[in-house]
A and B are shown apart, each in its own frame.
Chain A
Amino acid sequence: MSSDEERPGGGPADPDGGAPGTGTETATAPAKRSGPRAAVPGDAKRTRTGIVIDALTTANTFTVTVLAIVLALAVGAVVIALSDQAVLDSMKYFFARPGDTFAAAGHAIGTAYAALFTGSIVDPETLNEAWWGMTSWSSVLSPISETLTYAAPLIGTGLAVALAFRAGMFNIGAQGQAMMGAIGAGLVGFMVPWPPVIGVIAALLGGLVGGGLWGLLAGWLKAKFGAHEVITTIMLNYIAAPSFVTWLVTQHGVQQPGRNDPISKAVEPNAQLPHLFGSGLRANLAIILVVGAALVVSWLLRRSTLGFEFRAVGSNPNAARTAGISLNRTYLLVMLFAGVLAGLGGASIVLGNTPNAITPSVVGSIGFDGITVALLGRGRPVGTVLAGLLFGALQAGAGQMQVTSQVPIEVSTIIQSLIVIFVAAPALVRAIFRLRAQRVGALGQNLAKGWNG
């Protein structure tokens, strides 16, 4: 999986460099060279542009992913049109004046997707006003800030799922791990009157430990008793939330004074994540932290001995074991790291977003969304970051969409799900866009093993 770089066809550069005296080398060296090269005739003639065009018209990972997004937006457009009152009204006289229906649909889709864009990336109107000094530049950054705020926890849990995927494990437990991360960070954050800087670090560590231990528990159950991680992590999700967290935040000393609902005290200001673009915008250090985490995971998988073990176990546990790799140690470490990453995602919410307190629903559904993000990112750290940003943008834009064009937030959820479905069925995308076939594996095929895995 890591063979990203391709050497052009042909054998090793020095075919005569082998051990002398065996006779085999010299006798077969010419054949060795011509063999693979003959398989790709005319390879050398291809121009750079030709290669680019080729790549764009073949069903490779990139084109399939982009086109899956386009398809999902197209289906989403139909849903938007059908949920618009003006469209439905005009459909009553569709056969008399079909143009009305199409105009209304066009308007509904146009305003909805425009809002999706202005809510997540940039609003041209605000940009214009800022240019003429009518509003502050920081309001131009507001949509991006929202996108980053939504994306950061998703990337954290996405990495937690992706890392486990690469080691052949299906971590459904990012939800519970994120919850425990949020709890750890929250408890550390409000228990002690922290000085600046140290407070943030301590609270973050609390989050990483909370998530890590919860992941490690699933890893230990697998290593020690052979319990399948899919089952244990689902159950651990239930235990973390709502059960444990609801009990915890209603305890004296944890619950916010003067409140009857399950909410903890707020995290000390010194333990909160600093904002990136000033206090007016929500974007905070979390996005930097998760991107950093993605780089660490990337290094771990590609360049470290541990990552080599993880990938070997994920791909062929028998061969890994035969080569002296300890499966149990790998299960423990992978689930520990996955829990830490999900914990980072959970902690970033409690430490970064108001009300900066633990509640049973504080992490939303980032653990489950993380599975989606990891699938779309194909189990790779960089892909997971990109997928997390996309989903963050869709979630940030969905709010704006609802405000300006009354399109329900759920449409955004539908689009997110459709993207993943289309990516999971590359043959469908290929057929619709008539792409030339290439060996592109369906999503999830290599990633998650089944119950026998």
Chain B
Amino acid sequence: MEPGEIHALLGENGAGKSTLMNVLYGLLTPDEGEILVDDVPQRFGSPRDAIGAGIGMVHQHFMLVPVFTVAENVMLGAEHTTGIGWLNRRKARRDVAEVSERYGLRVDPDALVEDLPVGIQQRVEIIKALVREVDLLILDEPTAVLTPQEIDDLLDVMRSLKDAGKSIVFITHKLKEVKAIADRITVIRRGQVVGAAQPDASEDELAALMVGRSVKLTVDKLPASPGDPVLDVAGLAVVDDRGQRVVDDIDLEVRHGEILGVAGVEGNGQTELIEAIMGLRPAIGGTVRLNGRAIHDTLGHQYGTTSDILARGVGYVPADRGHDGLVADFSVAENLVLDTYRRPPYGKGLSLRPTAIRESARERIDEFDVRTSSYTTAVGTLSGGNQQKVVVAREMSRPLELLIAAQPTRGVDVGSTEFIHGRIVAERDRGTGVLLVSSELDEILALADRIAVMYRGKVLAVVGPDTPRERIGLLMAGVTGESAAEETDE
């Protein structure tokens, strides 16, 4: 690493990027080899040592105390006290103000962290490191949780840090960002450096280095041949846990044999929309029909439980696999039957059929290339991409009428993304209606036959797949032009 350089570390999930950086940050100790800082070999027993040597890290999952203010979080672990042992909050506030001034990281030192949006929370993490006067900042997958605008902001911050002489290790598997910001790129695969590249290398080259073979970044698909409507949502309104009306009078139609992409920054009601369709959340108004039969009617009555809805041929890949999609303690085999265990051949009467479950697990693991040592392995020990493949394998290996896929490739590497996208298109070609919800515009543009853009609980527009990216981006930010309004009726 040179001073004032942004070095991108590129690799698939489970390639060893995070492990390497945890060693650098003193969270793990190396089995062999050494770390040189300013040509001096170092051995970090803890993050404290690493910070002492000028290395700071911003984790993928933030390490902030939600009920503390920004300043309190920043001073946490390095509290300054006045003579008689009082916490010196004023100095902490001054530190925050000074650092945010110097690097253009705008943030209110007195705001409670839990009230801040994710992008700002990340800023607090960066400030935390900068206040400790680090020279090298490690950012572990910093863009995974950000909206497109927040990503742009982050890239700006990184540039200004670079101009101030700080070095940055930028861990990611998103090729576009790497090309936009990195000075140097190192690609890691299966724990080994497999190559270095310049930022002017093409995305295809980088992807090939990462995966170890050439990958297609675009999805080949024939034009859709839509049939009858499978899902019909009319005037649907749903409230979230806090009673806010987060789905507000939505009309949607998904036909057999087409992919309807729902674009939108996360938190604009997509989750609640899907949960209502799945019978996991009551509707306060409007109707939902599956193949013409009601799930929610105008009187606010729900027909059938989630289990019944699944049994009617709906596959559901939830957005947050760890939270809603998988039981981490359960084996791969058990997770593969998590919503079909009652039905033949996996269950008969009261008893499970272990043989059938095993057989099917073997087939699914092969078919979906789930990298696990055995079907008895606990799913929680697999890498994120492989966990996602387990969810996808479960939901897409029975005859479906409707597939609801929310963020189907979140945290999934390039190779697996290609595979999952291929499966979704294949499912469409089999005549299944697909409702694809994603905050990744690239994913929507690659797969969707029609695109609905959601903003603040409403569908702002339904547009065709050839709509310019910029316009959808504007719609995602809530900007509707005249031309957008015209196409709403399409």
Where the two chains meet, the residues of A that have a C-beta atom closer than 8 Å to any C-beta of B are: 1-3, 5-7, 9-15, 17-19, 22, 24-25, 27-28, 31-32, 35-36, 39, 303-306, 308, 311-312, 315-316, 318-326, 446
Contacts and interface: CB of A to CB of B under 8 A. Distances in A.
Contacts of A321: 280, 306
A169 to B, nearest CB: 16
Given A3-B376, A18-B367, A19-B367, A322 B325 contact: yes
B366 A305 contact: no
B213 A446 contact: no
Contacts of B116: none
B397 to A, nearest CB: 11
Interface in B291-316: 305-311, 316
B453 to A, nearest CB: 26
B331 A305 contact: no
B327 interface: yes
Contact of A32 (B212, B323, B329, B371): B371
A331 to B, nearest CB: 15
Given A7-B376, A35-B190, 17 more contacts: A7-B375, A15-B366, A28-B415, A36-B372, A36-B373, A304-B350, A305-B342, A316-B329, A318-B324, A319-B323, A321-B306, A322-B306, A322-B316, A323-B339, A324-B339, A325-B307, A326-B305
Interface string B339-375: 1011000010011101000000011011111011111
Contacts of A2: 330-331, 334
4 closest A-B pairs (Cβ-Cβ)?
A324-B307, A323-B339, A36-B373, A3-B376
B378 interface: yes
B352 A318 contact: no
B199 interface: no
Contact of B341 (A15, A32, A308, A446): A308
A321 B350 CA distance: 19
B419 interface: yes
Given A9-B373, A324-B305, A312 B338 contact: yes
Contact of B330 (A27, A31, A315): A315
Contact of A324 (B212, B310, B375): B310
The number of chain B residues touching the other chain, given as a range, is 35 or more
A318 B306 contact: no
Given A3-B331, A308-B341, A322-B280, A25 B324 contact: no
Nearest to A34: B190
Given A308-B334, A315-B327, A322-B324, A25 B366 contact: yes
B351 A304 contact: yes
A324 B309 CA distance: 8
B13 to A, nearest CB: 13
A92 to B, nearest CB: 48
Contacts of A304: 350-352
Contacts of B113: none
Given A2-B331, A32-B371, A320-B327, A12 B362 contact: yes
B316 A18 contact: no
10 contacts: A7-B373, A17-B363, A17-B366, A18-B368, A24-B419, A36-B372, A316-B326, A318-B324, A319-B323, A322-B339
B328 interface: yes
A115 B306 CA distance: 60
Contacts of A5: 376
A378 to B, nearest CB: 13
Interface in B263-318: 278, 280, 305-311, 316, 318
A322 B322 CA distance: 12
B351 A316 contact: no
A412 B393 CA distance: 54
B147 interface: no
Given A3-B378, A7-B373, A325-B307, A316 B352 contact: no
A409 B278 CA distance: 58
B371 A35 contact: yes
Interface string B364-394: 0111110111111110000000000000000
A305 B351 contact: yes
Nearest to A305: B347
B406 to A, nearest CB: 11
Contacts of B415: 24, 28
Most chain A CB inside 10 Å of its own CB: which residue of B306, B347, B374:
B374
Nearest to B14: A35
Contacts of A36: 371-373
A303 B351 contact: yes
Contacts of B308: 324
Given A305-B352, A324-B307, A325-B307, A315 B328 contact: yes
Contacts of B368: 18
Nearest to B314: A324
A210 to B, nearest CB: 25
A322 B374 CA distance: 25
A66 B278 CA distance: 48
B148 interface: no
B120 to A, nearest CB: 26
Contacts of B26: none
B35 to A, nearest CB: 24
A319 B371 contact: no
Nearest to A1: B329
Nearest to A29: B369
A12 B305 contact: no
Contacts of A1: 329-330
Nearest to B318: A322
B327 to A, nearest CB: 4
Contacts of B365: 11-12
A312 B327 contact: yes
A383 B308 CA distance: 37
A318 B320 CA distance: 10
